[in-house]
Amino acid sequence: MKKYWFVTVAAGMLLAIGACTLISAKNYAEDLAVVTLTSTAPNAIREELTVDGEIFYEEISEIRLPTSCTVEEVFAGEGAWLEAGDLILRLKESDLQIAYYEMLLQAESLEETAEAEAEEFRGGLAAWQLVRLREEMEILEELISQEGLICAREEAYVIYQGCEEGKRTDGETVLKLGLPEKGYRLEWAVDMSGFREFTSGSAVIGKDKRKLALGQPVYKNGSYRYSVRLEGEERYAQGYPVRIELQYVSEEYPMTIPSSCVRYDGTGAAYVYEVVEQQRNFGKEYVVWKTGITIEDQDEKKVVVKAALTNVVVRSSKELADMDAVAVLED
């Protein structure tokens, strides 16, 4: 009888321990983050950008320097043909620097006057003068950075050259450039932060949409400027607004992952979580490992990485930390 009693008690204890273990395992499993996985795959990077453009009709371009300065060297006389980036004049840098400093002081004074006018609800003369002055300051900044005057057109020729080496300009028109072909041009700019070597583009002009032959842009004042010749645009006035739609498609990269896989630490370093199988408390478990990555390129949906990755977490039901146990959801 005692023997049966002991067996009964032992069996009960084993059942209780088993039940506690099952409950503990169940609770443990319920606490796990549920993750969905992916791996690297070959893909191309695609990006689209929409900017505003304008139509211009140009026959002769007149260039006026915003200040009087000494011409140190003339590189292009009358009749000379120019390409984008060609240096036309080298100007005395100290003259430009002094003129810029004087304009800077004038701008500070105009800012105070403009604020006073705004408070007293008077005119906007000072504000208008400030806008014009800042435009001239931008031209001076460009002349200083380029060490002179350069051609911003794809092609042009010098019709009139009003500068002489060793002499000062008088602030009037100093140069006239003619375009090799008269006609309409479409121009637009792309900020440096959004610039890519776009592979294709189109222009939406009114109700019309046409493909564009994209040439090499010219860098100017923190942006890349495009200029495309148009044919048969007589029905549009100069300054007619245009919507430019640009597309970029890279060559296929061998290893890309979805952007949602990528996380960043406090220093800005990129990393992902990879899932590995390990032996832990209740047998084999899935655990996440934090893996640092180098991003070579990216668009809104995917990133290009250097190394092959497997079982990368693309979605998680909870915040993760290195070496966390997880439950894997088959996608």
**Domain spanning 28-44+252-329 has what CATH number?**
2.40.420.20
Which pLDDT value is given to residue 24?
42
Q: Over the range 279-313, which residues count as b (16 or more CB within 10 Å of their CB) and which as e?
A: eeeeeebbbbeeeebeeeebbeebbbbeeebebbb
Which pLDDT value is given to residue 171?
66
Which pLDDT value is given to residue 239?
67
Gap between the Cα atoms of 226 and 222, Å rounded = 13
Q: Cβ contacts of residue 170 below 8 Å, gap of 6+? A: 68
- The Cβ-side half-sphere exposure at 22, using a 13 Å CA radius, reads 6
Q: What is the pTM of this model?
A: 0.51
Which pLDDT value is given to residue 234?
55
Which residues of the chain carry a pLDDT beneath 50? 1-3, 5-7, 9-11, 14, 16-28
Gap between the Cα atoms of 255 and 295, Å rounded = 11
Which pLDDT value is given to residue 155?
77
The domain segmentation of the chain, as residue ranges, is: 28-44+252-329, 48-249
Which pLDDT value is given to residue 276?
93
